[in-house]
Structure 1
Amino acid sequence: MKRATVRTRVEDAALVAAALDPDNTPEMHTTVDGDAVVTVVERETTGGLRSTVDDYVTNLTVASQLTDTDTNHE
C-alpha cells in the first residue's frame, strides 16, 4: 500500500475539512489538527496515489478559496 500525508495550514481548518469531506474517497481520511487540515491517502499503486493526491489538492485549493473570509464578502 502506498501512502501520502498532506498537511495544509488554513484560516479555518474545520470549515475547509468539512467542505472537502463529500469529495473524499474511502481511501482518504481527513482530520483537523489545530490550524491544519491533515489528509492521509492510501492507494495500491503509485500512479493511483498520484492521481488521488492531485485531485485532492485541486479540491483543497477550491475549498480554501471559498472559505477564505478575508477575501470573500457578501
Structure 2
Amino acid sequence: MTMTRRTTLRTTHDDPTVVAAALAPDNTESMHTSVEGDELVTTIERDSTGGLHSTVDDYVVNVTVAETVIEATRTHTDTNHE
C-alpha cells in the first residue's frame, strides 16, 4: 500500500483568478487549484514528504513572484517609453 502526503494551501488575493492563471503553466498533475471568493485554494499530493515539501516550496515562491509581477503591472501602467 502506497501512502500519499497531501496539503491544502489557501492564499488571499485581490484577483485570485489572475494569480491562478499566472501559476497554471507551472502546476503539475499532483496539484489542483481552484478559486473560492478572494482565495486561491491549491491542494498538492505527493508520494513522499520530501516531494511534498519541494513542491510546496516551489509553489510558494511562484505565488510570491506572481503577486509581485501583478502588483508591478498595476502600479506601472504607463507604457509610453518616450
Query: Residue 66 of structure 1 contacts residue 72 of structure 1 at CA under 8 Å; is this kept in 2?
Result: no
Consecutive unaligned residues in structure 1, runs of 5 or more:
none
Residue-pair matches, total: 74
Does 2:17 correspond to 1:3? Answer: no
Counterpart position of 2:69: 66
TM-score (normalizing by structure 1): 0.92
Counterpart position of 1:33: 36
1:25-53 Cα shifts (integer Å, max 9, x gaps): 11011110100111000000011000000
Larger radius of gyration: 2
1:8-27 Cα shifts (integer Å, max 9, x gaps): 00111000001000000110
Change (3 A) 1:59 1:25: same
Counterpart position of 1:42: 45
**CA-CA distance at 1:65 after TM superposition:** 1.3
Consecutive unaligned residues in structure 2, runs of 5 or more:
78-82
RMSD of aligned alpha carbons: 1.5
Amino acid at match of 2:15: D
Identical aligned pairs, as a percentage? Answer: 54
The alignment partner of 1:67 has SS state of helix
